[in-house]
Amino acid sequence: GAVVSQHPSWVICKSGTSVKIECRSLDFQATTMFWYRQFPKQSLMLMATSNEGSKATYEQGVEKDKFLINHASLTLSTLTVTSAHPEDSSFYICSARHPAPDSSGNTIYFGEGSWLTVV
Amino acid sequence: AQRVTQPEKLLSVFKGAPVELKCNYSYSGSPELFWYVQYSRQRLQLLLRHISRESIKGFTADLNKGETSFHLKKPFAQEEDSAMYYCALSGQGAQKLVFGQGTRLTINP
């Protein structure tokens, strides 16, 4: 089946620094990827839609200058948290849209998530 | 606006008992509804979608437009069903998914 991989799985960074999280579609090309944020024991909150070759579309309330998204190739989208602060600590999940549906019609595949802790 | 509500954060039933995870939605158009499952230490994966009308791992869900609900049901719960379950909605023609708060289902032996 289609595989989406995130790297790193977990990262600790100091306040004020920037940290980059990668989302890769390993065996398919994804023109669209999505970035979610999940606080402990809470739901996934869509942050932005990442479109290959164009600017990301951010959800209301998400600071685009804070959370930089780049989708430079059909298999890679990156989320950079700039000037990170402890309140940015969270679980970040990406998903990628496969160009062809599987036998059940599914086209969305999720990465394993990345834990960010800002100290 | 799109909104998905799962009223139960936690649900605990005994093995062999029926289970129902509730999901209500708010959307002005024709939505596409999904149930996703996340087993312990695994990534989120699609369980079923209302369009396919399939039964996956014994689970079924019927879209009730009158009640704006998409409850997930299984007649006889198994221990391996213990997981986090998320109801999600995608608007007509839209690509993004909006998730409910999730329900942690625990099946007791």
CB < 8 Å to A95, chain B:
44, 97
**Could you give the 3-state DSSP secondary structure of residue B63?**
coil
CB < 8 Å to B98, chain A:
46
The residue of chain B with its CA nearest to that of A4 is B43
**How far is Cα B73 from Cα B79, in angstroms, rounded to an integer?**
15
Q: Would you call B51 and A105 a contact, using CB atoms and an 8 Å cutoff?
A: yes
Q: Which residues of B touch A (CB under 8 A)?
A: 9, 42-46, 48-49, 51-52, 54, 56, 86, 95-102
pLDDT, position B91:
81
Q: What's B79's DSSP letter?
A: G
pLDDT per residue over B24-70, tens digit each? 999 988 889 999 999 988 899 999 988 777 788 999 998 999 999 99
Please give, rounded to a whole number of angstroms, the shortest distance from the CA of A56 to a CA of chain B: 13
pLDDT per residue over A56-95, tens digit each? 999 999 999 999 999 989 999 999 999 999 999 999 999 9
Is the per-residue pLDDT at B87 higher than 80?
Answer: yes
Q: What's A88's DSSP letter?
A: G
pLDDT, position B53:
75
pLDDT, position B2:
85
Residues contacting A68, CB < 8 A, separation 6+: A79, A80, A82
In which band, very low, low, confident or very high, does the pLDDT at B93 lie, cut at 50, 70 and 90? Answer: low
- The pLDDT > 70 percentage for chain B reads 96
Please give, rounded to a whole number of angstroms, the shortest distance from the CA of B42 to a CA of chain A: 7
